[in-house]
Chain A
Amino acid sequence: QVQLVQSGAEVKKPGASVKVSCKASGYTFTDYYLHWARQAPGQGLEWMGWFSPNNGATYYAQNFQGRVTMTRDTSITTAYMEVSGLRSGDTAVYYCARGGSMAGARVGHDYWGQGTLVTVSS
């Protein structure tokens, strides 16, 4: 069965960076895009961008350009999302979610990680 398992909660100081991991299993890692989204406390979902495990291509939403980096290690079928220059407004649950296939099929996000709470506090 498809699973996306994320790393544990983090507490960071303003200005620091955080790197969240998302380990994929149950499907061919390089066959599907991986997306990242976040949800601040009591707020809605905010889409951050997508990443291609196949060739490393990325697309970052405008709000995150220059501060977010998405990478992967295909040998361990794990994707990473790093946010730099953290501020209090980055306190949120960060989710990875599977996106469309490399073959072109798109159905939205059919599988999600469990979420990783990142708290930014001095």
Chain B
Amino acid sequence: DIQMTQSPSSLSASVGDRVTITCRASQGISNYLAWYQQIPGKVPKLLIYGASTLQSGVPSRFSGSGSGTDFTLTITSLQPEDVATYYCQKYYSSPWTFGQGTKVEVK
């Protein structure tokens, strides 16, 4: 099975900072990569699919890039409401494996 590895596992940044999270697949997955945001105590929310397509209603400060094995989620200007854990997930083929998550905190 294809493994998904996220880094870092956690980060702390100031409001307004640019934040970058990476996700690496153990084999190529084209652009079949989604990003989710899970605010503490809440249900995961789809942010990005197809590696770079913003889900409807998601703020434009979120963006995704990459193809093949290396992917990036970027928050261009971190806001207090972005405190959450972010997960990548590959859906190129089954199993639709999640990354282990990146916890984002505000300093």
- For the complex, is B97 an interface residue (Cβ under 8 Å from A)? yes
CB–CB A50/B94 < 8 A: yes
For the complex, is A106 an interface residue (Cβ under 8 Å from B)? yes
Residues of chain A with a CB closer than 8 A to B36's CB: 45, 108-109
Instruction: Give B78-95 interface residues, CB cut-off 8 Å to A.
Output: 85, 87, 89, 91, 94-95
Partner of A44, one of B32, B94, B95, B98: B98
Which residues of A have CB within 8 Å of B96? Answer: 35, 47, 50, 99
Q: Which one, B16-24, B43-51, B68-76, is touching chain A?
A: B43-51
- A45-B101, A50-B94 as given contacts; A114 in contact with B89, CB under 8 Å: no
| Chain A 71-118 residues near chain B, CB threshold 8 A | 95, 97, 99-100, 106-110, 112-115
Interface of A is mostly: strand
User: How many residues on B have C-beta within 8 angstroms of the other chain's C-beta atoms?
Assistant: 25
Question: Count of A residues near B, CB < 8 Å?
Answer: 24
Judging by beta carbons under 8 Å apart, are A61 and B49 in contact? no
Interface contact A44-B43, CB-CB below 8 Å:
no
Does the CB pair B49–A108 fall under 8 Å? yes
Shortest CB-to-CB span from B85 to chain A, Å, is 8
A115 to B44, CA, bound (A): 10
State whether B32 touches A106 (Cβ < 8 A): yes
Which residue of the partner chain, among B44, B91, B97, B98, contacts A106 with CB atoms under 8 Å? B91
A56, B36: Cα distance in complex, Å:
27
Given A47-B98, A50-B94, A108-B46 contact (CB < 8 Å): yes
A62 contacts B by Cβ under 8 Å: yes
Q: Are B91 and A108 in contact (CB under 8 A)?
A: yes
B87 and A108: CB pair below 8 A? Answer: no
Chain B residues with CB under 8 Å of A112's CB are 43-45
From 30 to 79 in chain B, residues with beta carbon under 8 angstroms from any chain A beta carbon are 32, 34, 36, 38, 43-46, 49-50, 53, 55
Interface string of B1-29 (1 = CB under 8 A from A): 10000000000000000000000000000
- B61 to nearest A CB, angstroms? 20
Q: How far is the CA of A122 from the CA of B61 in the complex (A)?
A: 47
